[in-house]
Amino acid sequence: MQLSPLTERVTGSGASAWDLHSKALKERGAGNDVIIMSVGDPDFATPNKITETAREALARGDTHYAEIKGRLPLRKIIAQRHINQTGQDVTPDNVIVLAGAQCGLFTASLCIATTGDEVIALEPMYITYEASIQVTGATIVRVAQKADNGFRPNISAIEAAITSKTKAIFITTPNNPTGVVLNRDELVEISRIAIKHNLWVISDEVYADLIFSGEHISIASFPGMAERTVTISSLSKSHAMTGWRVGWAIGPQHLVEAMEKVALCMLYGLPGFSQEAAKVALTDLADEPKKMKAIYQRRRDLTLKALEEAPSLVAHIPEAGMFLLVDIRATGMTSREFSEQLYAQTGVCVLDATPFGESARGHIRLSFTLGEEQLIEGCNRLCQFVNSRLNDRAIA
């Protein structure tokens, strides 16, 4: 029987990006010597107080339907957190709690774009953006942020991409995979473009608590932006809660009401015990991300130092997050060939960065989400692989 064309729209060019990672997971599970540096799943356990709160909620029977847009006490906490971070005046009516940031991006896209629209996405971008936009029937318009400019926004290119069909701009700050944090001047220019052309902005700010240098500025806080911005975040990275699937979107009330209707059909609300745990994460453990940030910054620096053993590699120093992009073009391999051969010869699994966008072609993405000993061992194997490859080419 024939399937809907929608199934093709949600596939996207990045659908195969995780194939090598899936293989590595399976082989590690079988006991093979595998080091996985390909995924952004924190190796920390969720803080015990969060887990214990969920257990207590379960024990008292918090296992029934909860409010579709999220419980009011949690939405109040999220709204106040946003006010404290941005200065933007929001209320719980501007907040909807969803199954992670990905669900927020997907739901916001469905409520904003439709067939015939164009949505600008700054790439490199997270792999699922393509499908999240295309599922609506809209066309994704990629604007490259090039490696030779440090993957920073090209404002002229963004403005040049605007047409009469443009409906929205997707931005990510801090960025995954580049670790770039958009600065005030860049955000002012993107705001100017959005207001001038009457565009929505969907701003993915999941890594805002994990900034090593610079500061996080939310574009929604700029004049004229509150009514046209959807701010997306979650607890996945900040509190090592990837599997809890607790995220949220903050935007104009009429958009949040529309997103609630979509959530009614998709989710029918998050489990109450997860929401109780989220409240503790955002109040009693609000400082937890500072501890994680310090660890990730140390791991970043250790990784950069270890990669110096392969001088041909060019590492782009991330300002935030848990990832590092490395330029491997000097090896003469494509990033896919590099990733596959590296894994086959060393058991180290990294991610071919090309699915994040053409501007990341010739790069791989490394993750810091593993202990220091394994992280250094993985980097050492990677450097040995690169140096051996270059020596073989020199001899030939």
Do 258 and 378 share a domain, yes or no?
A: no
Q: Which pLDDT does position 11 carry in this prediction? A: 72
Q: How many domains is the chain built from?
A: 2
Closest CA to 270 of 43, 49, 54: 54
Q: Which pLDDT does position 396 carry in this prediction? A: 53
Instruction: Please write the tens of the pLDDT for every residue from 309-343.
Output: 999 999 999 999 999 999 999 999 999 999 999 99
Instruction: Please write the tens of the pLDDT for every residue from 114-166.
Output: 999 999 999 999 888 998 999 999 999 999 999 999 999 999 999 999 999 99
Do 270 and 155 share a domain, yes or no?
A: yes
Mean pLDDT of 59-75: 96
User: Tell me, what CATH number does 117's domain have?
Assistant: 3.40.640.10
Mean pLDDT of 199-221: 95
More confident residue, 92 or 370: 92
Closest CA to 86 of 218, 207, 192: 218
Do 277 and 298 share a domain, yes or no?
A: no
Mean pLDDT of 220-230: 96
pTM of the model: 0.92
Range of the domain at 135: 64-282
Do 160 and 102 share a domain, yes or no?
A: yes
Quick one: pLDDT band at residue 87, thresholds 50, 70, 90?
confident
**Beta bridge partner(s), residue 169:** 120, 201
Q: What is the DSSP letter of 3?
A: P
Do 238 and 366 share a domain, yes or no?
A: no
364 is a domain residue: yes
Do 192 and 245 share a domain, yes or no?
A: yes
Residues 318 and 179: beta-carbon distance below 8 Å: yes
Instruction: Please write the tens of the pLDDT for every residue from 254-283.
Output: 999 999 999 999 999 999 999 999 999 999
Lateral strand order in the sheet of 229-234: 95-98, 247-250, 229-234, 200-204, 166-172, 118-123, 139-144
Q: Which pLDDT does position 214 carry in this prediction? A: 87
User: Tell me, what CATH number does 325's domain have?
Assistant: 3.90.1150.10
Do 118 and 230 share a domain, yes or no?
A: yes
Q: Which pLDDT does position 392 carry in this prediction? A: 66
92 Cβ contact partners less than 8 Å away, ≥ 6 residues apart? 72, 75, 76, 78, 79
Distance (Å, rounded) from C-alpha 204 to C-alpha 102? 9
* Long-range contacts from 1-6, C-beta under 8 angstroms, 24+ separation: 6/135
Do 232 and 196 share a domain, yes or no?
A: yes
Do 108 and 41 share a domain, yes or no?
A: no
